[in-house]
Amino acid sequence: MNSRILPAIALIIAIGIFFAYVHPAWTGSIAATKTAIANDEQSLDSSKRYVEQQNQLLIARDNIDSAHQKAIATFLPSSVDNVRLILDLNALASRSGISVANIDVITGSSASTNDQRSDALPSADASPVDSVDLSLSATGTLSAMKAFLVGIEKSARLLDVRDLTVKGSDTGVYDYEMTLSLYWLR
């Protein structure tokens, strides 16, 4: 009698061990751990590639002349800094020979519709450039005005004349009203 009962009990225990521990552990925790390890390995590979690319980019950036880096930062600065720009416009106007009567920011003209300043990296879809308009009124001869326009066109900081009104007079001195767009990097 015992010769049949004990093997049967052993078989039941074996089946129990398989279905209660071996199979659930293999398909459950072990499979999950293997997936996590695979993800980690993928991330580690990515981090290695990142380090390699970062080193390449650092070399490429260092190869850019520092004067050119300064020039590009002046061309499209990281802040509006319109006060300094107004001072520079005044200086340009005096060099060109026109008299500036008024310079002001046109409020509500900013092209920024959503403030995305945060510690998060900017998304690739969002435009990184913001702009605002300046109104300027001045008086001077046409040649002086052309000199002023050329100065704006060749400005180290990018400025676009969006609107220009010239009102003539018999004296050869004209009144000018213009709208300038200035840009900066968010």
Partner 1 sequence: MALLPTIPTSFVPHATLSDNRHVRTDFGNAFGFSAYIILGISFVLALGVFFYGRILAVDLAAKDAALVKAEAAIDQDTVKGFVQLRDRLNASQALLESHIALSGFFSVLETTLPATVRFSTLHISIDDAGTATVEGAGVSKSFNALSVASAAFAADGRIKDVIFSNMSINKNSSVSFDFSATLDPKLLVFSPSAKAEAPIIPTNASSSSATTTPL
Rg (CA), the chain: 35
Rule CB under 8 A: is residue 155 a binding residue for partner 1?
yes
Q: Which two tokens stand for residue 112?
A: 């920024």
Helices vs strands, H then E, count in the chain: 6, 4
Out of 59, 62, 63, 78, point to the residue binding partner 1 (CB under 8 A).
78
| Beta bridge pairs of residue 126 | none
Identity of the residue, 104 or 153, whose beta carbon is nearer to partner 1 in the bound complex:
153
CB 179 within 8 A of CB 162: yes
Q: Which of 71, 79, 99, 106 binds partner 1 (CB under 8 A)?
A: 71
Site string for partner 1, 87-126 (x = CB under 8 A): xxx-xx--xx----------------------x-xx----
The H or E element that residue 104 is part of is strand 99-105
The tokens for 56 are: 């390449």
Which residues between 17 and 56 bind partner 1 (CB under 8 A)? 17-18, 21-22, 25-26, 29-30, 33-34, 36-37, 40-41, 43-44, 47-48, 50-51, 54
